[in-house]
Amino acid sequence: MTAAFQQCIWPDCGATYDVGQILTSCPECGSLLDVRYDWDRIAVPDSLSQFESRWSDRLDPLNFSGVWRFRELLNFADDEQIVTIGEGQTVLQKNDAVAALCQMKPSRLYLQYEGLNPSGSFKDNGMTAASTHARIVGAKITACASTGNTSASLAIYAGVSGLFRCIVFVGSGKIAYGKLSQALDYGARTLQIRGDFDDALARVREICANHPVYLCNSVNPFRLEGQKTIMYRILEGLGWEVPDWIVVPGGNLGNSSAFGKAFLELKQLGLIDRIPRLAIINAAGASTLDELVNEHGLLWNDGQTDRNAVGTFYTDMDSSGARASTLASAIEINRPVNLEKALRAIDACNGVVRSVSDQEIIDCRALIAAHGFGCEPASGATIAGVRLLREEGLIAADDRVACVLTGHQLKDPDLTVAYHTDNPELHAKKLHPAGVTQTPYANAPIVVDNDVDTIVAAMGLSD
């Protein structure tokens, strides 16, 4: 018998369900669900450092996985049920150059580059867990809505494991080509819905509620269990010391929710003595969380979140015709589905929420890339957020800050090339509509005639 169960996050309800049930909201009250554990029945190590011994036994695929080598902390599956493709081989790396750009002292800023996952984004941490649960419940068809990375991730797990088919829903014209190409390559049936991500998610949820299709978006509580391990690897990278800050971009708020849960559990288990602060960074063009928290004062409030305020906010959003719009297409989301879990995480982690403009996002993306960490625009928001919080004095120059870079540079090469090139048409098409009017870190390609002397001159040998 497993020691795991599902539980409604709303304290007034708190209904519990078996791990074998396929649920993405509480059947009693409609709230989100957590996966929870009867910890007394799990052999959790006495100290986090005990997980290190798994490194020496990496021929075992469960120890090789950067998710499942922490399996006692997401203990909902038997070993033989686990679906892994070697995800989570990511380690925390210090970057003093980026620290300097953020006015931070050396050795204080660290990057957790999740672009090195098999499908090139952090999503694989969650999808290995969702795929495992899909296997436990015998799902034959899986689906997700996606701004691109979730679909790439689900597609690779379905393709490689061969355990289930997958159908991905993406907003029409809303997906970066790097991501679309992955879903196609990995063999997913790919539906381009005429609408945006929120439309695609609403449709896929409707369909999964009425058909035998297993939903792999982050409303799936099992997915978020896998994403907790990003925090375990950050702690590991710091010799199991707790950083002062975790900084992460916020879209559907699955990561922020998972991170908060990870720290709450570690604290409850006595495996850490304090919880770091969490900074969630929205794009200014998709800033629902920022507005709700900072302008409307929305709080977790022990689970008594002001749901009417959220409802009114969304009604106003719809009636004014406002739609999310940002070059960081991964986080172009109007109604973050994990809102309440993210509020809980903010509460647990003394968190803050900020928004940064597309100009800041895209400049920071170029700067991080120039220092060796090619990432996609959403990750640029992380560093833009650190810079903002440094300016505000909230992050101190010698705080220890762990920044999550969520996706790989090659996910969205069109935007990178548009930034670097000095082609006015490309700028007008790709950058200006988002308010990006300057490209201070551009490195434009040089067109030269097919002639040695001209080429040598263009090589800058005499510069």
User: Which 311-330 positions form the footprint of ligand F0G (CB under 6 A)?
Assistant: 330
User: Which of 178, 221, 254, 285 lies at the binding interface for ligand F0G (CB under 6 A)?
Assistant: 254
131 is a site residue for ligand F0G (CB under 6 A): no
- List the structure tokens of 64: 């090789």
Least spacing, CB of residue 126 vs ligand F0G, in Å? 8
How many angstroms separate the CA atoms of 409 and 171, rounded? Answer: 21
283 is a site residue for ligand F0G (CB under 6 A): no
Q: Are strands 352-356 and 141-146 parallel, antiparallel or unpaired?
A: unpaired
User: Which of 65, 84, 119, 147 lies at the binding interface for ligand F0G (CB under 6 A)?
Assistant: 147
Least spacing, CB of residue 451 vs ligand F0G, in Å? 43
331 is a site residue for ligand F0G (CB under 6 A): yes
Which x/- pattern over 179-218 shows residues binding ligand F0G (rule: CB under 6 A)?
Answer: ---------------------------------------x
- DSSP annotation string for 208-271: HHHSS-EE-STTSHHHHHHHTHHHHHHHHHTTTPPPSEEEEE-SSSHHHHHHHHHHHHHHHTTS
Stretch that binds ligand F0G, among 3-11, 143-151, 160-168, 437-445 (CB under 6 A): 143-151
- List the structure tokens of 396: 């101190």
251 is a site residue for ligand F0G (CB under 6 A): yes
User: Which of 90, 150, 229, 287 lies at the binding interface for ligand F0G (CB under 6 A)?
Assistant: 150
Spell out the residues 6+ positions from residue 27 whose beta carbon is closer than 8 angstroms to its own. Answer: 15, 17
- List the structure tokens of 67: 């998710």
Least spacing, CB of residue 407 vs ligand F0G, in Å? 3
Is the Cβ–Cβ distance between 228 and 37 less than 8 Å?
Answer: no
How many angstroms separate the CA atoms of 65 and 79, rounded? Answer: 12
Is the Cβ–Cβ distance between 109 and 383 less than 8 Å?
Answer: no
Least spacing, CB of residue 125 vs ligand F0G, in Å? 10
Strand order in the sheet with 4-8: 16-17, 4-8, 33-37
User: Which 363-392 positions form the footprint of ligand F0G (CB under 6 A)?
Assistant: 376, 378
User: Which of 231, 253, 324, 339 lies at the binding interface for ligand F0G (CB under 6 A)?
Assistant: 253
220 is a site residue for ligand F0G (CB under 6 A): no
User: Which 58-117 positions form the footprint of ligand F0G (CB under 6 A)?
Assistant: none
| CA-closest candidate to residue 69, choices 83, 58, 78 | 58
Q: Cα 77 from chain centroid?
A: 23
Stretch that binds ligand F0G, among 76-84, 148-156, 270-278, 455-463 (CB under 6 A): 148-156
User: Which of 229, 407, 415, 431 lies at the binding interface for ligand F0G (CB under 6 A)?
Assistant: 407
CA of 422: how far to CAs of 245, 328, 359, 411, in Å?
Answer: 37, 21, 16, 21
Residues that bind ligand F0G (CB under 6 A): 121, 123, 146-150, 218, 249-255, 330-331, 376, 378, 406-407
